[in-house]
Amino acid sequence: MPNDLNAITRQLTGIVKKTGAFLRTENQSFDRAAIEYKDFNNVVSYVDKEAEKQLVDNLSQLLPEAGFITEEGTTEQADRAGLNWIIDPLDGTANFIHKLPVFSVSVGLVDNGRPIAGSIYDVNRDECFSAWEGGGAWCSQNGGAEERIRVSPAQQLQESLIATGFPYYRFEQMQQYLHILESLMQKTHGLRRMGSAAIDLAYVACGRFDGFFEYNLKSWDMAGGVILVREAGGVVTDFTGGDEFLFRGDVVAGCAVHAELLAVIQEYWT
């Protein structure tokens, strides 16, 4: 593990903000004719690929010994073991394409599967979230000073606002998922679907959401965010209550309501 995670994270925030500025500029003139389909309902564009290349180039200089696990595969993919950057260059591609201003850059540093540092840049709000193991979670807005962030003080599910995402494949589990939504609609202040799991996790870390859950995620959707939630005082597990979320694809994150939220999910999820 690197010796100075604080310094590495500080430099990481500059890198993700630089890539975020590229996304912001490209979004102004983006043409939907540039869309490509990786598979059903899974879109990509030259913007995702170029943003990823920028991140890989800059992160290679920051920490040459680290490998890469990336969404768009623009570089050789590392083994899950060891020290790796896990990158989502544009989390919320569908939002970006439709010019819905909710998308982000998300990067996590993982040591043998354990997230140890991360940064998420909410491009349109110019908010940069960052955290490193043992260093707490932080947020700066509009280039201002960083401020410490904490998860919500909510203690009960009935006083919570919960975020989730809608799957675009594995629809055979849709009925279970809909039962969970039906239950949570009756037990919370409401449900929200932003379209960027990274932003959802960042918003749990700073207390805007009290919890977040989703399945069908990839490691790059979560790697930058789970360290934020944990360092902000929250809890992150997979749907079984275990610690395998990063590569299992299902995650539950939250403040003190995590246990209640997980119980609702487990009532319907098999």
Quote the pLDDT of residue 43: 61
Q: Which residues of the chain fall below pLDDT 50? A: none
Quote the pLDDT of residue 45: 77
Quote the pLDDT of residue 33: 72
Spatial CB neighbours of 4, under 8 Å, sequence gap ≥ 6: none
Quote the pLDDT of residue 79: 75
CA torsion 50-146-225-199 (nearest 10°) is -70
Q: Where are the alpha helices (DSSP H) in 85-244?
A: 93-97, 174-187, 197-205, 219-231
Q: Taking the CB of residue 270, how many other CB atoms lie within 10 A of it?
A: 6
Number of helices and strands (H, E) in the chain? 8, 14
Quote the pLDDT of residue 13: 97
Q: Domains in the chain and their CATH numbers? A: 5-148 (3.30.540.10), 157-268 (3.40.190.80)
Q: What's the predicted TM-score (pTM) here? A: 0.94
Quote the pLDDT of residue 165: 95
Chain segment 113-126, per-residue pLDDT in tens: 999 999 999 999 99
Distance from C-alpha of 67 to C-alpha of 50, rounded to nearest angstrom: 19
Give percent of the chain with pLDDT exceeding 70. 96
Quote the pLDDT of residue 42: 59
Q: Taking the CB of residue 77, how many other CB atoms lie within 10 A of it?
A: 12
Beta bridge partners of 197: none
- Residue closest to 91 by CA, chosen among 185, 39, 160, 165: 165
Chain segment 123-168, per-residue pLDDT in tens: 999 999 999 999 999 999 998 999 999 999 999 999 999 999 998 7
